[in-house]
Amino acid sequence: MKNIAVLFGGVAPEHEVSIITGLQVIEKIDRKCFSPYSIKLSQEGDFYYYPALAKKKDFLKIKPKKINFGKDEKGAFFVPLKGLIRKKIYLDAAYLAFHGGLGESGQIQGFFEILNLPYTSPAVESSAISMNKALTKEVLERHGIATAAWARVFSAQVRKGPDKLLSEILKILKFPLIVKPVHLGSSIGVKVVNTRVELKKSLLEASFMDSEILVEKFLKKPIEYNVSVRTVNGKIEASEVERPISEDEILSFKDKYQKGGKKTSGMASLNRELPAKIKSSLARSLKEIAVKVYKLTRASGVIRVDMMLDRNQKILVTEVNLIPGSMAYYLWEASGVSFKDQITNLINEAIRLHKERIEKRLIYESDIVEKFVNSKDR
């Protein structure tokens, strides 16, 4: 029986979305194979353990305990900061259900690498690149993968004076445009603009959300498609293709998470056509591009690649989701893999990959420190 820390929440605008994903994992994890420990990272950056959490309905009833992580000769552990019983709980792996912010951009991944603990998600390098929409575009376009025409501006430039920036952007791009904070997900802060005034307003608003801003050519009525990609036992696989259905001109936060009134299942709530009713040749192309994106961004674990088909029937990659909403479990269920098995596969792959990383660590010893310490000062 392996001890698994299931982490969710995080210092991110998608904090609540992440909680939903984390609770979905906690409910479906195979308790015959794993002992899950539910841990929330607060918006203030503190970790809290929810003892005996097994059902989502109990989440708000349990009083969490503030904890710290550590490492000793036995391995990585967490321990309560207060109370008479402060027993260390040793871990075999961390299941990351974060979205955006510190949990998806590489910092948490680096933290667990220091603790020498396997974790489920792309590693630091992949996370840092793919969480930046502009950097992702640069990587993909360099290797022949098409994206929508774009420009990048920095928030500091916007605040100094947006008028010059507007002129520079409009030399490259024509209305309508879409403005996106570079590091945010779940469609937070995304605006479609049709005039110079709207562009200026949206840039100013976005400058208070993120350090960088992406401005893209907005495609009217494109057909959107999503494909999840994962690695199992070292083999890369692509899921069935889904076609999200939006009531708005863009796939909004409401479309993704707030359908069905008071009830929500995270990204699983989204209206969709799954599998998408498309020609096998198009499905094959979408999957091939998604797998290529997975490889180019040095991804691992499970990700979701969002794409669009423009009026010229050209496939454009719009976003790479390193820890997808609801872990994209519905895409793999449509491919014949239960959510429980998906969780098991992801944990086992994380442990396998961690062993590979350890084997490649190079410890180079020499006597240069001893010589420096014993040398006479000049």
For residue 253, the domain's CATH number is 3.30.470.20
Q: What pLDDT sits at residue 100? A: 86
Residue 159 domain flag? yes
The pTM of the full predicted model, rounded to 2 decimals, is 0.89
Which tokens in the block code for residue 330? Answer: 């519905």
| First-to-final CA distance of the chain | 59
Alpha carbon of residue 176 to chain centroid: 28
225/300 same-domain check: yes
314/336 same-domain check: yes
Instruction: From 101, 81, 78, select the one nearest 4 (Cα to Cα).
Output: 78
Domain boundary among 173, 197, 217: 217
The range of the structural domain enclosing residue 351 comes to 221-359
174/274 same-domain check: no
Q: What pLDDT sits at residue 250? A: 59
Residue 367 domain flag? no
Low pLDDT (below 50) residues in the chain = 252-253, 255-257, 260-261
Q: What pLDDT sits at residue 3? A: 98
Q: What pLDDT sits at residue 252? A: 47
Our count of domains for the chain comes to 3
Distance CA 303, CA 230 (A): 6
251/324 same-domain check: yes
C-beta neighbour count of 33 within 10 angstroms: 14
244/338 same-domain check: yes
Q: What pLDDT sits at residue 257? A: 46
Q: What pLDDT sits at residue 198? A: 94
330/285 same-domain check: yes
280/176 same-domain check: no
Cα dihedral sign, 113-114-118-121 = negative
Residue 366 domain flag? no
